[in-house]
Amino acid sequence: MTDIYNCADPAQRARGIASAAGALKSGRLVVMPTDTVYGLGADAFDSAAVGALLSAKGRARDMPVGVLVGSWHTIEGLVYVMPEGARELIRAFWPGALSLVVEQAPSLHWDLGDARGTVMLRMPLHPVAIELLREVGPMAVSSANISGRPPAVDVDEARSQLGDLVEVYLDAGPSAQQAASTIVDLTGATPRILRAGPVSAERIGEVLGLDPASLTA
C-alpha cells in the first residue's frame, strides 16, 4: 500500500522519514522532495531496487541513475580520484542544483545502469532530502516521472505518473527550482556542461577560472 506523508507537519515528517527509510532498506521505491524537482529513489547499493526504478520510469539502462548524498564527505568513498575543479564546485554549489559526473571508485558494488565506470553525484538543498539521505546513505535518484514526460515538481504530479509503484511519498510542497539540476562532466580533459540548469555556465566558469563558452563547446 502506498503512503503519503505531509512533511509540513513535524509528526508526519518524522513518520514519513522512518517509513521511507524502511521501504528503501527493503528494496522498495520512494518519492522525495529536492530543491530541483521531486525524485524517485532507491537504495543505491540494491541492484534489484535500481532496476525497479528504471522499470517504473520506463527508462533504459543506457541512461544510468545518478546518486544523491547527504554530506560532502560521503563522496570521498564513491570517487576514484577527485578530479580537478571538483572541490571548488562542491564548495561553491553544494548543497544545490549542480550534479557532477566523476569516475567512480572501482571497489563499489552497485549497478546504476550502463555508466561505464562513472557516477553522477549531487547533494540536494532540501532539509527533508538531507534528513533521509543521512538516515539511509547514498540513494540512486532520478526525476519522479515517466521517461519522456515532464519531471514532477510536486507530489501530486509524481503520484499521477508513478502511482502504486512507489511505497512512500514524502510531500514537502512545490519544488523551489522547478527545473532539473545542471550537470557538469569532470571525467574528460576539461569540464563540460552536459545539461543546462539552475546553475549557469557563467557561474561555473567563474569558480573554475574558465571561459563559460568553453564549458558548452
Cell numbers representing residue 135 in the block: 538516515
- Distance CA(120)–CA(186), nearest Å, equals 10
119 contacts: CB under 8 Å, gap ≥ 6: 66, 67, 78, 79, 101, 102, 103, 104, 108, 112
List the domain boundaries for the chain: 3-178
The predicted pLDDT at position 14 comes to 98
Give pLDDT, residue 148.
Answer: 93
Enumerate residues 6+ apart whose C-beta is below 8 A from 188.
none
Q: Work out whether strand 168-171 and strand 30-32 pair parallel, antiparallel, or are unpaired.
A: parallel
Q: What is the CATH number of domain 3-178?
A: 3.90.870.10
State the burial class of residue 65 (Cβ atoms within 10 Å of its Cβ: 0-12, 13-18, 19+): buried
**CB count in 10 Å sphere of residue 188:** 9
Q: What CA–CA distance (Å, rounded) separates 185 from 183?
A: 7
Segment-wise mean pLDDT, segments of 10 residues, the chain, 217 residues: 95 98 98 98 97 96 95 89 93 97 93 94 98 97 96 97 98 96 96 97 97 93
pLDDT for 137 equals 96
